[in-house]
Structure 1
């Protein structure tokens, strides 16, 4: 189960559907090989636990992704986030896209 969690955290499928209604598990060796191609060591249960701990720790320590908030109120007027559009990146980094 831990390998499946690690695979999911890296966007690696552990099942596939070759036909309608059919669900086939991906062989564990294939999942390990794909993770290795992504630079993730999943060669042993200890390596899987360490890699999963590292990705979960990185998630806890990271900032929220860039966010843009905009809405219209019930009367059609604009809500917060209606000023010049600016999508910011991480602190100290340039904006993801210059203001419009």
Structure 2
């Protein structure tokens, strides 16, 4: 198997994992907000940059234009595009801390 074939297989696996848990019906690109009918293709982007990490929290679907332009790398302030946080590591909210002093 060639390196190109390995890359295609990895991309296809990422697409399957992403769409397994989501519907394309109401999809909009999280970067430019265009709908599925307004774009020529949807790519699945690995938020952490690791093409082997197909954890559902690491995958985001972007229109081809935004994905190829690298726009997702600049717009990391958008929650959908920011690298994923490790699960269960966020600080507790004040209401979960219990009674105060």
Q: TM-score, normalised by structure 1?
A: 0.26
Choose 1 or 2 for highest CA Rg: 1
Greater relative contact order (Cα 8 A, min sep 6): structure 1 or 2?
A: 2
Per residue, is there more strand in 1 or in 2? 2
